[in-house]
């Protein structure tokens, strides 16, 4: 179940190695440098923000920040309440055990 399953080995014959030939290189002739590439026009539409859309974007971002902040604060508050309740239970149990041991 936990062993990996590999695909079957490729059964294609190996490609033949290029034959080594005695080759004398031709003399190198200087060439003109390539021209600089020209940036092509993009087909994607550009995003233009109007004042209304910029305001909506800012309001949406603020709302997201406020919601995430509220969630994080509520989670922190839940952890703090749980910690306080556990501490109270620990004090009560300690008191009960102490009273039980003193009355024996």
Q: How far apart are CA 50 and CA 30, in angstroms?
A: 54
How many domains does the chain divide into?
1
Domain span at 92? 79-104
* 51 in any annotated domain: no
Residue 55 resides in a domain: no
> Does some domain include residue 67?
no
Token pair for 18:
């290029």
Contact 36, 44 (CB under 8 A): no
Give me the tens of pLDDT residue by residue for the chain, a chain 104 residues long: 688 887 777 776 777 776 666 666 666 666 767 777 766 666 777 778 888 999 999 999 999 999 999 999 999 999 999 999 999 999 999 999 999 888 76
């Amino acid at each position: 179940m936990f062993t990996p399953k590999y695909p079957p080995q490729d059964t294609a014959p190996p490609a033949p190695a290029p034959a080594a030939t005695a080759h004398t290189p031709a003399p190198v002739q200087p060439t003109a440098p390539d021209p600089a590439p020209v940036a092509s026009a993009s087909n994607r539409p550009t995003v233009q923000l109007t004042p209304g859309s910029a305001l909506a974007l800012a309001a949406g971002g603020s709302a997201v920040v406020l919601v995430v902040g509220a969630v994080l604060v509520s989670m922190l508050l839940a952890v703090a309440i749980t910690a306080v309740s556990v501490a109270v239970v620990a004090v009560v149990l300690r008191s009960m055990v102490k009273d039980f041991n003193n009355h024996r």
